[in-house]
Structure 1
Amino acid sequence: MELPVVTMAKVINSFSLPWLDNVFRGSIPPAYLEKTDNTTMLITESMNEPQVSLNGRHKGWLMGTELQIFYKVGAQFNTQDAEIDLTSRLEQLGYKTETRARVKDPDTNQVTKVLFATWDLLGGTGNET
């Protein structure tokens, strides 16, 4: 079984989102930390725990990732539409999504958005890619 961040990175990359320049797992490389002319997504693990115990054995596993988007400064696309499209695509694949409000990073002036995507391996969702 691959790590949740690996699975999610594969899914996000398969979408070929025209507004997304970089996808990183775990952390953003130092060379990209100050780049405000790119839209970057950081994928980190938010959940990885056993579920559904039957006869003392785990019969499922709940996986989750946090998708943190750093929009490029002066983005020339509708970020709301991008987020709706992204969550819709994830939900079509069986992921459950949840979002937080956009926040402006005081250091870079980038607007950031956090989304969460979870899936249960017992139900078979989220691992078809």
Structure 2
Amino acid sequence: MEELRQVLNNAGIKPNAVAFTVLGRQYTVLTTVRLIVCVCGYLVLRRAFLIYARKAHMQRLEALQREGKSGERTQTEEVTVDKDKPIPLDYESEGEGWGSKARRRQREAIKRAEREAERRNLEEENGGIDKYLD
């Protein structure tokens, strides 16, 4: 801290001079420099930590795969999806896939189509019988 104070003095900047005021609080040059160093350090160290954490996680996954434990997946584990593959949707399930209204409309449309096909078949059969009865 003293080194920073000396560097600022040597540059002709008074470390205790007010740099700016935000919401009634005065920030000195020294506290402003300290804040900037902390924020920049956080940004640099955060990226380095994320890279380290990703590598450590991948090494653990590879170790599990080598041991053969990764093939034994429980139902509670979340399965990651490859972004290039389409997600198969089970439209018959009640909990996922389409909404309940869309499933209901689809079922009603199928029933209407079946009734219409059955009605046409009965008309064709009745038309054929009437021809022979006359």
Structure with more contact order per residue of length (Cα contacts < 8 Å, sep ≥ 6): 1
Is TM (by shorter chain) over 0.5? Answer: no
- Normalising by structure 1, we get a TM-score of 0.18
If each structure's strand is expressed as a fraction of its own residues, which one has the higher value? 1
Asked which structure has the greater CA Rg, the reply is 2
- Normalising by structure 2, we get a TM-score of 0.18
